[in-house]
Copies of this chain bind each other. A is one copy, B any other.
Amino acid sequence: MIQQITSIFKALGEPTRLAIMKFLSIQELCICELVAIMDMSQPRISQHVKVLKQAGVVKERKVKQKSYFSVNPAILNDAVIGPWASFMQCSIDSIPELAEENQRYLQLDSNEEVLACKNGCLMESSEVKQVI
Binding site for B on A (CB under 8 A): 2-3, 5-15, 18-19, 21-23, 25-30, 32-33, 35-39, 63-64, 66, 68, 70, 75-76, 80-81, 84-85, 87-89, 92, 95, 97-98, 100-101, 104-105, 108, 111, 113-114, 117, 121, 124-132
Query: Can you pick out 26 interface pairs between chain A and chain B where the beta carbons lie within 8 Å of each other?
Result: A5-B12, A6-B15, A7-B13, A8-B13, A9-B9, A9-B12, A9-B13, A12-B13, A12-B84, A15-B97, A23-B101, A30-B125, A33-B108, A35-B113, A37-B104, A38-B101, A39-B101, A39-B104, A63-B125, A64-B121, A66-B121, A68-B125, A75-B88, A76-B84, A76-B88, A76-B89
Looking at chain A's contact residues, is the secondary structure mostly helix, strand, loop, or mixed?
helix
Total copies of the chain: 2
Which of A9, A19, A29, A81 has the largest count of B CB atoms less than 10 A from its CB?
A9
Q: How far is the CA of A131 from the CA of B125 in the complex (A)?
A: 51
